[in-house]
Structure 1
Amino acid sequence: MGNRVEDLEAQVAELQAAVDGLTEELVEAKERLSQLEQATKVEAESTPDRNPNAEFVPNESATNGADDDRTMADEEGSAQKAARGADEETAEESDSSDDSDDIIVA
């Protein structure tokens, strides 16, 4: 029974050392976060405020790119519909061509 007690005491010592190490790391991480938050506050305070009356106006290339994206999406949608139609026709042909098979192709 003495051996069991010694094993448990050794485990407790290992766990206590792990807890102490993790606590130390946590304290260091909190200190580092505080330093980063203070540095961020200083940078935010030194950054000039943007003009609240300023307005974003996209340039011509930005608006043309959006039209191109819509056109490409429409073309892709049409291609997908056509592919689905072909798949449905193939499935119908395979179903009607041989009624003895129990396999359904979808």
Structure 2
Amino acid sequence: MTDHAPGARQSPLDEGAVAVAPAKPWRTVVWDDPVNLMSYVSFVFRSYFGFTPERADELMLRVHSVGRAVVAEGSREAMELHVEAMHGYGLWATAEPEDQS
């Protein structure tokens, strides 16, 4: 027997369910390489991610000057798909947890 009114919905926590913290976000990092032209990297960012030309150039310059740029954040699965796509374009990319630098 329950203490709830008929038809009332029970909270999942009522039955001793364990609350799980949401998964930590991941990010896609594109790395500098000695092969691809800066204009090509910017083109890839515009074409694949839909960045404006200004944002694509900003990220491309970060890749060029700092050696890497975070181009996307989200679930691990989504970031792995982005990494695969970047590899398809010939760019060096990795997925990493948000708390890694």
Q: TM-score scaled by structure 2?
A: 0.22
Q: Rg: which structure is higher?
A: 1
| Structure with the larger helix share | 1
Name the one with the larger strand percent. 2
